[in-house]
Amino acid sequence: MQVLKFGGTSVGSVQNLKQVREIIDTPELKIVVLSAMAGTTNKLLQIADAVRIGERTLAADLAIQLQKEYDQVLEELFTELSILSKVRGYVDGIFSSIENSIQVTNFSTITVDEILSKGELLSTWILTSYLEQENVSVCLLPALDFMRIDMHKEPDTFYIQQNIYRSIENLPPAHIYITQGFICRDYEGKVSNLQRGGSDYTATIIGAVIKATSVQIWTDIDGFHNNDPRFVEETHSIAHLSYDEAAELAYFGAKILHPLTVEPLRQYKIPLHLKNTLDVKARGTMITHKAKGKGIKAIAAKDGITALKIKSARMLQAHGFLSNVFKIFDSYETAIDMITTSEIAVSLTIDNTQNLEKIANELTKFALLSIDRAQSIICLVGNQISADKSTHHLFNILKDVDIRMISYGGSKNNISLLVATKDKNRALSLLQEYVFPHEIVI
Ligand code: ADP
Ligand code: ASP
Ligand code: MG
């Protein structure tokens, strides 16, 4: 069985929904995972934010506006009146439950998650109904019946495996099962989600539990590019990446994949193919367990980084200093991304600043501390980077951009640089020029 996931743009218009039908309407048995239509989750978040700050009228207005957009899609997509009225009934029901959430008196994160879940419920209902109208063998597979996370917010694989099969057995037979990405239940059964962009992760979790032959992620670009196309010109699609390379790039900000996407696939070596819904013939990117080729393959950047410089008050040869520093971060469950040291100081970066004040209080008991916010990590990823001839080009940018930290040699596959976020786009473009000067488009 195959798993195919379609992102927000892929299901974001009537034209693209029809294109999705072209791609999935083949005889093979498959599970199709959908995101919400492009823009919907952001709008639902705006509604939830308005409710949180007590702006209920604004929230209700935003919901009415969004409902109008859906009405228009339904008008265009459904020609058969009986199906149109059934889908309209469902969509109206979803918007009344949003309205109920807007009016709740005890607002909490549960309300936010309830509101956010509606986008995927809408898109899957709409596509399933459209395929029914077109006499395609299809059935809706509700994700909330099987997708669950545990107390640590990890996928509860055993539960998911048991319940996905149980759900399918209880449904009428079909060639295509359509399910919601992103949404799930928590260990108490409350509606939750896999974090923004989480539909990619849903697809690979399902792929792993059903031991799919492959997982395809269909998006709005022709695969993984060698730099962030939102900020850099002339980026190119990469034919192949290993799980490690893709995971590192996704973790360090490549928006094309949710950071945890490849993890479920590792154990079973299930290939992940990134494809373009808007250009079906484009080759895309194949991601497998094996690394191919050498050298730097791609660059990504992650914003929202805070850098801490921690200087030992006792100066030289103060043993135990680093271990004391690490213990503090550990006790506040704060992960460190980058680290560089000298004899008397250590610089490190974090992205979770929830406990920063408490960490700073502890550190200043035995060290001098300076904190820089609004930093970005730029990450260069590839295979056997340190041994590759092109790597030295990287240092050419040092003269043009103020690099706050550099991490080289920690692994053969990664070089990380820390720059102020205001310098990030310039650094990315310069790196593109230096590292991929004669890019050959295959
Ligand atoms: P979807 O809604 O299909 O999940 P996303 O918007 O989450 O799509 O991801 C696709 C987008 O990721 C692209 O349109 C592109 O702007 C952005 N992106 C960022 N970095 C990269 C990269 N290295 N390669 C390809 N796309 C990237
Ligand atoms: N709709 C969700 C989001 O916008 C999940 C996803 O698109 O993958 O984050
Ligand atoms: Mg995405």
Per-residue pLDDT of the chain (442 residues; tens, 9 = 90+): 999 999 999 999 999 999 999 999 999 999 999 999 999 999 999 999 999 999 999 999 999 999 999 999 999 999 999 999 999 999 999 999 999 999 988 888 888 999 999 999 999 999 999 999 999 999 999 999 999 999 999 999 999 999 999 999 999 999 999 999 999 999 999 999 999 999 999 999 999 999 999 999 999 999 999 999 999 999 999 999 999 999 999 999 999 999 999 999 999 999 999 999 999 999 999 999 999 988 899 999 999 999 999 998 765 566 788 889 999 999 999 999 999 988 788 999 999 999 999 999 999 999 999 999 999 999 999 988 877 776 777 777 778 899 999 998 777 889 999 999 999 999 999 999 888 876 544 4
Inside any domain, residue 291: no
Cβ of 245 below 6 Å from ligand 1: no
- Cβ-Cβ contacts under 8 Å for 89 (sequence gap 6 or more): none
| Integer Cα distance of 345 and 342 in angstroms | 5
Inside any domain, residue 283: no
Q: Whose CA is nearest to atom 5 of ligand 2?
A: 197
Q: Ligand 2 centre from 41 Cα, in Å?
A: 6
Q: Which among 17, 20, 221 is the best mutation to test ligand 1's pocket, defined by most ligand atoms within 8 Å of the CB?
A: 221
How many beta carbons lie within 10 A of that of residue 232, not counting itself?
19
The sign one gets for the Cα dihedral 93, 99, 105, 106 is: positive
- How deeply is 433 buried, as exposed, middle or buried, from its count of CB atoms within 10 A (0-12, 13-18, 19+)? middle
205/344 same-domain check:
no
- Cβ-Cβ contacts under 8 Å for 257 (sequence gap 6 or more): 197, 200, 217, 224, 246, 249, 250, 274
Question: Among 187, 220, 253, where does a domain finish?
Answer: 220
Question: Among 176, 193, 220, where does a domain finish?
Answer: 220
- Cβ-Cβ contacts under 8 Å for 19 (sequence gap 6 or more): 10, 277, 278, 280
pLDDT digits (tens, 9 = 90+) for 131-156: 999 999 999 999 999 999 999 999 99
305/211 same-domain check:
no
214/318 same-domain check:
no
- How deeply is 207 buried, as exposed, middle or buried, from its count of CB atoms within 10 A (0-12, 13-18, 19+)? buried
- Cβ-Cβ contacts under 8 Å for 395 (sequence gap 6 or more): none
Inside any domain, residue 260: no
Q: Whose CA is nearest to atom 5 of ligand 1?
A: 256
Inside any domain, residue 245: no
Q: Which among 124, 191, 196, 274 is the best mutation to test ligand 2's pocket, defined by most ligand atoms within 8 Å of the CB?
A: 196
Inside any domain, residue 282: no
| Integer Cα distance of 250 and 242 in angstroms | 12
210/346 same-domain check:
no
The ligand 2 site (C-beta within 6 Å) comprises 7-8, 35-36, 41, 119, 181-182, 196-199
215/301 same-domain check:
no
Question: What's the Cα-to-Cα distance from 143 to each of 16, 140, 186, 306, rounded to whole Å?
Answer: 23, 9, 12, 36
- Cβ-Cβ contacts under 8 Å for 114 (sequence gap 6 or more): 97, 101, 191
User: 3 and 211 in contact (C-beta within 8 Å)?
Assistant: no
169/51 same-domain check:
yes
In the three-class reduction of DSSP (H, G, I as helix; E, B as strand; rest coil), residue 190 is classed as: coil
61/178 same-domain check:
yes
Question: Among 198, 220, 242, where does a domain finish?
Answer: 220
| Integer Cα distance of 258 and 193 in angstroms | 13
202/339 same-domain check:
no
Inside any domain, residue 233: no
Inside any domain, residue 142: yes
18/143 same-domain check:
yes
Q: Ligand 2 centre from 94 Cα, in Å?
A: 18
Number of domains observed in the structure of the chain: 2
155/34 same-domain check:
yes
Q: Which CATH number covers residue 118?
A: 3.40.1160.10
pLDDT of residue 106: 82
Place of tokens 């539990």: 209
Q: Which ligand is nearest to the CA of 194?
A: 2
170/319 same-domain check:
no
Q: What's the distance, Cα to Cα, between the start and end of the chain in Å?
A: 30
| Integer Cα distance of 208 and 196 in angstroms | 21
Q: How far does CA 328 lie from the centroid of its chain?
A: 29
Q: Which CATH number covers residue 395?
A: 3.30.2130.10
| Integer Cα distance of 350 and 335 in angstroms | 6
Inside any domain, residue 413: yes
In the three-class reduction of DSSP (H, G, I as helix; E, B as strand; rest coil), residue 63 is classed as: helix
Residue numbers of the domain that contains 424: 297-435
Amino acid 153 reads K
pLDDT of residue 133: 97
178/326 same-domain check:
no
